Each structure stands twice: as structure tokens, then as C-alpha cells.
Amino acid sequence: MENTHYQNLTRTFARLSRFSHLSAIASWDMFAMMPPAGSAARGAALAEIGVLQHQILTDKQVGQWLTAAEQENLNDVERANLREMQRHYQQAVLLPESLVEAKSLAGSKCEHAWRTQRPNNDWEGFSANLKEVVKLSREEARLRAEAKGGSRYDALLDIFEPDMTSARLDVLFADLKSWLPSLLEKVTDKQASASLIAPTGPFPVETQRELGLDAMRLLGFDFDAGRLDVSAHPFCGGVPEDVRITTRYDEQELFSALFGVVHETGHARYEQNLPREWLGQPVARARSTAIHESQSLFFEMQLGRSEAFLTRLLPQIVSRFGNQPAFEAQNYIAWNQRVKPGYIRVDADEVSYPAHIVLRYEIERSLIDGDIEVEDIPALWNEKMQAWLGLSTKGNYRNGCMQDIHWTDGGFGYFPSYTLGAMYAAQLFHAARRALPTLDDDISRGDFGALFDWLRQNIWQHGSRFSTSALITNATGEDLNPRYFRQHLEARYL
């Protein structure tokens, strides 16, 4: 029996997936294990794999198979897979091989240098590399926008968040701006009178690591299919069959690394529960970066910072670090629900967190659309931090515009995913609570079975079968509705 066009495509995409597997593990190693002198060679090897994948995906025959497969007799899931294949093909075919290679090399170089430039507050050194990344990202955005219509920034946003536009983001973020500053003020006023006891360290790294592993076990992480390591910036990488998560430790601060691990475990559980029978095909990939972030924020914020979960985790903390006044239940819960505007996005509480995202979104959109240049970033960053959070980052690049890894490799368009993810997470948790009336009691007993089954049935097992809008509507009964995020913040903090 001769192969159908669709079967030819599934074989091609399975092959691409194996290259992605190697690339993902080599990237994880670059961030977590690789000695510094290996950087240039690793960057070249990753660029080579990227070019090879680009050649396979943009082959003329793939385009012909995609057109011909439209006429074949496919079931619903195969149709969805074909739709995703077409999306990946159309995104790749717009870019010349030389740009794919140049962007990969510039990104590796910029990220590697950032690791030492950030601690040294070396904006001048960093910005020299960033300019090259921005130049190539603008070129990519131009090519994509010309083919797709819409703005250059929207063309990059679409890679991470299909069907999302900056016009829609502007509406969502304008709503946020109308109530978040006053909520932030009310919550900080309310909390100002509470005199809390800070946990006193040192908290040895090895013991912190053990506590992180305790939390991962509690949250159902599959250690036969993943591991925890250390990197300069926490992330979740690898592949569904072998998920690599990382955190970073500070011996004077206990909860930053712990909740970093809880956050990345949310990403990991999603990856580990993607549809196994379709792995290697585009339909088995996570739906989008905002849905991915909704899972990590569901774990870290909706679940992780809830009183029920904090109570469940307390005995583990005391058994690892001994008892101290800061770990008295009421103080410990209040400490982990503090709202305190700060410089660092990954350490931000959930009320001030959206401010960090809107600020980055507005800057990166202006940068890609050509309204500002790299030199303008520090002053704009400072101005927006002052307006949102009353903090100055003048001259403080390491805790200002150099703190994130996303721009180093040209990830422009990713940042909005975090706040979209927070909105989706609140909506999903609301729907889960409606479906599971004993949820809070279950959580305080450490019984997450029903909750994870609900996530598996409604989000995890579907991969990219449905559009984001259909996925959320099927799970919650309506498309994205930011009012659940506001309700959640008001209920928890006011």
C-alpha cells in the first residue's frame, strides 16, 4: 500500500522532533552544566541543528504534501495535526536559512555573555550584543509581517501565542491598568500594619534542594522522566519524555528557590502529560506559551500560595530546617502572601507581577516596531518602574533591564504570555473549584489527585488539538475573561 501524503508528513515531523530533542538537551546542558569555554562550539552546533531542521521543514516537497493532504480522508485529530503542520511550515518558509543561522549564533553569544555581564552591571557590553539580536529579530518580524499582514510585533507575538494581537492585548492590559494600581495600594496599606518575622538563614543549598524535591513529589512530578538542576535563570526544558527543570539558590532566602521549583513543576507536569500516542507530532505540543504559563502559575500562585497548600508544605519545611518563630503558621502564611513591589520579576508577588509584564511588553513592542532603539531601554525601564511600582532602576541595570534571559535569544513576543497565563490560571482554578466542591479540603490534606485529573482531562491531554480559545471555552465554559483574575486577587489579598 503506497504512503499517503499525510503519512509522509508525519514521518517528516517525527524526524524534526528528534532533532528538537537533541537541541533541547544540548540547550539545557548549555544553561546548567556546560563549562564556559564550550560556549562558542555549542552555539555553532545548535545553529547547525537549527539550519538542518529549517532545510527539512521548508523542502518544496513538504509544501506539496501539505496541499495534497488537505484532500485526504483524515479524522479530527489528524486534521488538527495537519493544521499545526501547516502553521509550522508557513512560519519557517518565510525565513531564509542565513537568518535562521545568524539569529541562533547571535542569541547564543548574547546569552552566554549575559551570565557575567549581568552580575557586573555591564549594560554597555550587554547592549552591544543585544543590538545584533534586535537587528535580526526586526528582520524576522519584517518578513513575517509582510507575509501575514499586521504589525511587526504582532508577527512575533503570533509565534508564541497564535491568534493573539497587540490590539487585543492593549484592551486586556488597559483593563488591568484601570484597577491594578489602586488594588496594589490598598493591599500594601492593609499589610503595612502587620509586623512579620522574616525567616532567618542560612539555609544550606543542599537542604533547599531536598525541600524542592519534597514539593515536586507532592505535586506528582515523574522523576523517571525528568530531573532538577541549577541555572542562572530558572527554566523548564528538555522534552516530554525527559523534562529538565532548574532553579537558583540563595542561602539567605528560603522561598525564592522553592517557589521557582513549584512554578517549573507546573510546566513540567503539563509536558509530562501531553498526549503520549501523538508525541513527535505538532498536535502533541503544548498549545501556546500563555497556556504553558497558565499551568506554572496555576501551580505556583493559585495552588502554591493558597493557605491550604502552604499549610500542607509547612511540616516539610520544619523537618528540613527546624522550627523558628518565622515558621509559626500564621506568620509563615502571611509571609508567603506578602505583597511587596520589588525589582525582580521572577520573585514578584502575584499582585505586582503584571506591572513587570506590561512594562516589558510596551518596551519590546516599541523596540521591534522601530519606535525606540536599544539605547533607550534603560531610561524607559526606569520611567515605567517608577510609574508602576515607585522604584528607580537608574544605573541599576542588573536588577532592571538586564535581569531576564528572554531578549538575549530574540524571544520578543513571549512576555505577554505571563500575564495572559495568570488570567487563564485564575479562570481555570475557578472552573476546577466549581467542578470539585471539596477542592480546598483535598489540598490541605495533600490530596491533589482530583485536581490533576481535572487538568489532565481539560488541558494536558489535548496538546494542540484545539485553538487556545476553544481549549479554554471547553474547560471553563467561556473564552478568556480577565474578571476571574481580578476576583482572585481581591479575594486573596483584600
Average pLDDT score, the chain = 97
Q: State mean pLDDT over 54-78.
A: 98
Residue 266 has pLDDT above 80, yes or no: yes
Give, in order, the Cα–Cα distances in Å from 381 to each of 44, 336, 397.
33, 27, 9
Q: State mean pLDDT over 61-77.
A: 98
- Specify the pLDDT at position 334: 97
For residues 381, 382, 385 and 387, what is the CA-based torsion angle, rounded to 10 degrees?
-110
First-to-last alpha carbon distance for the chain, in angstroms, is 66
Residue 288 has pLDDT above 80, yes or no: yes
Residue 310 has pLDDT above 70, yes or no: yes
Instruction: Quote the CA–CA distance of 143 and 131 in Å, as a whole number.
Output: 19
List strands edge to edge, sheet with 226-230: 226-230, 242-247, 236-239
- Read off the pTM: 0.96
* pLDDT digits 0-9 by tens, 197-215: 999 999 999 999 999 999 9
| pLDDT band, residue 232 (cuts 50/70/90) | confident
Q: Are 339 and 349 in contact (CB under 8 A)?
A: yes
Full DSSP string of 216-279: HHHTT--GGGEEEEE-SS--EEEETTEEEEEE--BTTBSHHHHHHHHHHHHHHHHHHTS-GGGT
- 356 assigned to a ligand binding site: no
Residue 370 has pLDDT above 90, yes or no: yes
Instruction: Quote the CA–CA distance of 114 and 112 in Å, as a whole number.
Output: 5
Residue 233 has pLDDT above 90, yes or no: no
* pLDDT digits 0-9 by tens, 90-148: 999 999 999 999 999 999 999 999 999 999 999 999 999 999 999 999 999 999 999 99
- Specify the pLDDT at position 338: 97
Nearby residues of 384 by Cβ (< 8 Å), 6 or more positions away: 359, 362, 363
Q: State mean pLDDT over 375-399.
A: 97
Q: State mean pLDDT over 236-247.
A: 97
Instruction: Quote the CA–CA distance of 297 and 268 in Å, as a whole number.
Output: 12
- 72 assigned to a ligand binding site: no
Residue 1 has pLDDT above 80, yes or no: no
- 293 assigned to a ligand binding site: yes
In the chain, what are the domain boundaries?
A: 1-94, 152-493
* pLDDT digits 0-9 by tens, 326-366: 999 999 999 999 999 999 998 899 999 999 999 999 999 99
Q: Are 285 and 274 in contact (CB under 8 A)?
A: yes
Residue 26 has pLDDT above 80, yes or no: yes
Q: State mean pLDDT over 285-291.
A: 98
- Specify the pLDDT at position 356: 98
| Catalytic sites, residue numbers | 264
Q: Over pLDDT 70: what percentage of the chain?
A: 100
- Specify the pLDDT at position 174: 96
3-class secondary-structure state, position 459: coil
Q: Hey, what CATH class is 152-493 in?
A: mainly alpha
Q: Are 421 and 290 in contact (CB under 8 A)?
A: yes
